[in-house]
Amino acid sequence: MRVQGDHWVDDEGRRLVLRGVNAGGDCKVPVRPDGDTRLKAGFYDGKDVSFVGRPFALDEADDHFARLKRWGLDFERFLVTWEAVEHEGPGIYDEAYLDYLETIAAKAGEHGISLFVDPHQDVWSRWTGGDGAPQWTLEAAGFEPSRLFASGAAHLNQEMGASYPRMTWPSNYDRLACATMWTLFFAGDAFAPGIGPVGFEGPASMQEFLQGRYIAAMARIAGRLARFPHVVGMDSLNEPSFGFVGAPSLHRRGTMTSLGITPTPWEAMLAGDGHAVEVEVLGIRGLARKKVGTARLGVEGLRAWKDGVDCLWRRAGVWAEEGGRPVLKRPGHFAAGKDGAALDFTRDCLEPFVRRFGREVCSIGASGSARRYVLFVEGVPNAARPTASVAEGGQVVDATHWYDDLTLVTKRFLGCVAYDARGDRVVLGPRRVRRYFVEALRELKRWSMESMGGVPTMLGEFGLPMDLSGAKAYRTGDYRVQEKALSAYYDAVDASLVDSTIWNYTAGNRHERGDLWNTEDLSVFCRDDFEAGRTETGDPADSGGRALRGFVRPYARAVAGEILEMRFSMRRGTFLLRYRPNPGIAAPTEVFVPELQYPGGYEVEVSGAEAERGPGRLLVKALAGAEVVVVRLRRP
């Protein structure tokens, strides 16, 4: 596989359409101790952990890969975390975990499955309400992890248990710990100059300490997997964040505000230093996010920082104590760089980091100046997206994300209403909603074409909560609503001709525990259903799969020419492929045809070509002189 212009091709020159999953949702948390975010036991011991067994136990890996292959999902976004590699301390790598990654990657290749590695994170780390970075990164900034929740510096499922409000983990973007760490990672030299790690040897720069250690850890993974040609790429970093960078005033809320308690940067700093404050609470009212009340943030006298260590932003001169009271000295501290010039996050922070990642990680295993890995690039969701400057002559993919936000947050799919986050508008009407889905993905692709130099678009994440409407489907076994929603998303994927990896496949998913992370439950596989032998299709090979008809569908896996149109109707069972054949390609076009959609077989109609059926696929060979080939499938 290689990138050629705005798409992938194989050795025969055929245009590839890549479909897969994120494997898997529980890679965010350790196997030992049990990392389910509802559990607090062992949570604050960040050194003695193991991620061996994420995403699959070795003795189960063949079954999982075979299931994904059967479902036509043979290109996987393979999740790892920085914490999994380097949890014990800076430069101390978990070799047992790296050995495990090699073994799992080898098994994927045996099943004809390709991978790209996703260094995953959400809101920085487990101790700041998400996953990703090791605990010692927080300690290096001066934080005391065990005090982050009580001081209001983090919002944690581990501390709140069953009372944790669903989909409130993004509120950590506005909390002190997460916002501080992202600011240091991307712009520590500009906003905290001369401040180095506390208690660790390293450069006198938190920015270099954090970025250097992260890149070295990912390079360790890249080196281990470089021998596998089916491991085709490395993602720079999942869903990076601004932190405080660019905040026009510390009295104003940032751009990443979500639901729940939403402090301003100054309120977050006050609470984190032991000065409890009253802050706004945001919630959903009607179809809009609005203020729904206020809440106390922090505990008087309880600090998020280690004993004897001043607040990092006090050390940086952002605020001071005068007359025994905190006083904000620089309300616009994060609005401009250290020279006073305007600082653009994408140009001055994100893109230099991505270019460095490409040089130091994606070049591993290269021959001469050619890169071994394709660089999958991400930006800040719904905000900062990188430009063509990150390519530096290497192969690059725009690995962007998109979600049906209203359904994701409310866990209800109506089909007649949606929320467009980029346009900040409500979309009403079934046809308008489906049209919005298509327009949203085409807009993502336009950015890849026009601003990133015409590179492929990989929809790295999109998906659906399976516990819609109070998890009704778990009681009834009726996933028709989920199938309808997923089918609408994949219709948009087909219409926009983007590659995609759905979120997600969690081998340890259970109805009660979900994906083991912050009440999310989006996995297309459930272990409870698998162990009970429940299957929507009647075939034991599909046991454990949920809403299968929504995403297991025909598509053109490899096309000997230029794709003009591809679409499928789940309700009618009709599939259409139109393409302009390339007479210089000898290999046939291959269409994945799942038995699940055609249990009684299927009828084929082609023009400009000959077709030959095979197990789970249709091979199409263009006739000499044909200008356009049309392939139609339908149920008898």
Q: pTM above the 0.85 mark?
A: yes
Residue 87's domain comprises: 2-245+340-551
What secondary structure does DSSP assign to 66-104, as a single string?
HHHHHTT--EEEEEE-HHHHH-SBTTB--HHHHHHHHHH
Confidence at 369, pLDDT banded by 50, 70, 90: very low
Answer whether residue 283 shows pLDDT above 60.
yes
Residues 512 and 572 grouped into a single domain: no
Residues 434 and 505 grouped into a single domain: yes
CATH label of the domain that carries residue 444? 3.20.20.80
Strands 629-634 vs 603-607: parallel, antiparallel or unpaired: antiparallel
Coil, helix or strand at residue 549: helix
**Of residues 27, 112, 116, the one with CA closest to residue 557:** 112
292 vs 308, which has greater pLDDT? 308
- Look at residue 294 and tell me if it is in a domain: no
Q: What is the pLDDT of residues 101-143, one digit of tens each?
A: 999 999 999 999 999 999 999 999 999 999 999 999 999 999 9
Residues 534 and 563 grouped into a single domain: no
Residues 446 and 426 grouped into a single domain: yes
End residue of a domain, out of 504, 526, 551: 551
What CA–CA distance (Å, rounded) separates 409 from 425?
A: 16
Residues 344 and 431 grouped into a single domain: yes
- Look at residue 299 and tell me if it is in a domain: no
Predicted confidence at residue 366, as pLDDT, reads 52
End residue of a domain, out of 514, 534, 551: 551
Predicted confidence at residue 421, as pLDDT, reads 82
Predicted confidence at residue 255, as pLDDT, reads 54
Q: What is the pLDDT of residues 445-478, one digit of tens each?
A: 999 999 999 999 999 999 999 999 999 999 999 9
Amino acid identity of residue 351, one-letter, is: E
Residues 623 and 524 grouped into a single domain: no
What mean pLDDT is reported for the chain? 95
CATH label of the domain that carries residue 619? 2.60.40.1180
End residue of a domain, out of 536, 551, 566: 551
Q: Is the previous residue joined to 55 through a cis bond, with omega within 30 degrees of 0?
A: yes
Strands 561-569 vs 603-607: parallel, antiparallel or unpaired: unpaired
Residues 544 and 559 grouped into a single domain: no
Q: What is the pLDDT of residues 51-63, one digit of tens each?
A: 999 999 999 999 9
| Structural domains counted in the chain | 2
Q: What is the pLDDT of residues 565-589, one digit of tens each?
A: 999 999 999 999 999 999 999 999 9
